[in-house]
Chains A and B, each alone.
Chain A
């Protein structure tokens, strides 16, 4: 049931997607002198010097470690609090449920720039500044609503009869939830975790504001490549290439869940 030329559309689009990434990879393998002096379609010589800079300087690789710590922390926390809430939304109606749902969404809509100032002061006041937890908590503002939203869609697709049968069979609620229900929505948890990871990994504004030294994310470290001697293009490009790696791994692991499909019955 598909048109013949759809392959062409896809191929052209993939070319468009990959061209800028190729260019960054290309630059990361060249020296700054070569980058600024001559134009080349493919690197004239391969040099890993820019990568060596990153892997030997603690300020650089420390940034990766920091980013990964708060992103993982955020993903776990977001999914953990969103699971019971999504179950409640998908199974029961209670006073204010729809409004609560929409209120959650409004937090996803608030521009991080709006929260910048109060967050800075809130986390200073409670002594969490420059910790991984601060960034993880801040990112929950936009990740938890999204997690509830996606998980609710997956849970609603599971027939309610399964719950009832389990209770008749003598399952307690926690046992039912962990043993029977969670495996049924494994795909949903995978997809949700993917989105939480993604949005936390790519966010910079809050992550940069809430950290200074100890928890500084890689993306913020990258802003220091502008020095008096001009842009350090090569190192910048190498750091950029390395930021794609964790994401590419994550998408590789969840591709099955996406390929299997989900419909999100209700909004």
Chain B
């Protein structure tokens, strides 16, 4: 068994993790350029940009799961909806 083959990488998953990695790097650069200011938005707690990203990603995961579990429609719709949720939480949360 080679060092990586057991991880059974597939392109979609690899793309997903690369995106997460890039997102974290982008957030770091953004933070260095202009530090975040904690604020109270629609969410019931004071959040920074990083907090909102985390909450947004968590919400996106739940939206996707709910889509899979509750509907028989194509997953793309769920993914689209979760992306909207992520952006909304980043912007207004």
Q: Are B50's CB and A125's CB within 8 A?
A: no
Q: Is B42 an interface residue (CB 8 A)?
A: no
A-side binding surface: helix, strand, loop or mixed?
helix
Q: Are B6's CB and A95's CB within 8 A?
A: no
Could you say which of A95, A99, A102, A124 contacts B1, with CB atoms under 8 Å apart? A124
Number of A positions contacting B (CB below 8 A) = 11
Q: Are A99's CB and B50's CB within 8 A?
A: yes
Q: Are A95's CB and B54's CB within 8 A?
A: no
Q: How far is the CB of B17 from chain A (nearest CB, A)?
A: 15
Number of B positions contacting A (CB below 8 A) = 11
| In the complex, number of A-B residue pairs with CB atoms less than 8 Å apart | 24
- B 1-35 to A, binary, CB cutoff 8 A, 1 in contact else 0: 11100110000000000000000000010011000
Give Cα A118–Cα B32 distance, bound, in whole angstroms: 36
Q: Are A98's CB and B50's CB within 8 A?
A: yes
Residues of A within 8 A of B28 (CB): 95-96
Q: Are A121's CB and B50's CB within 8 A?
A: no
Q: How far is the CB of B64 from chain A (nearest CB, A)?
A: 19
Q: Are B54's CB and A125's CB within 8 A?
A: no
Residues of A bordering B, CB below 8 Å = 95-96, 98-99, 102, 118, 121-122, 124-126
Residues of B bordering A, CB below 8 Å = 1-3, 6-7, 28, 31-32, 50-51, 54
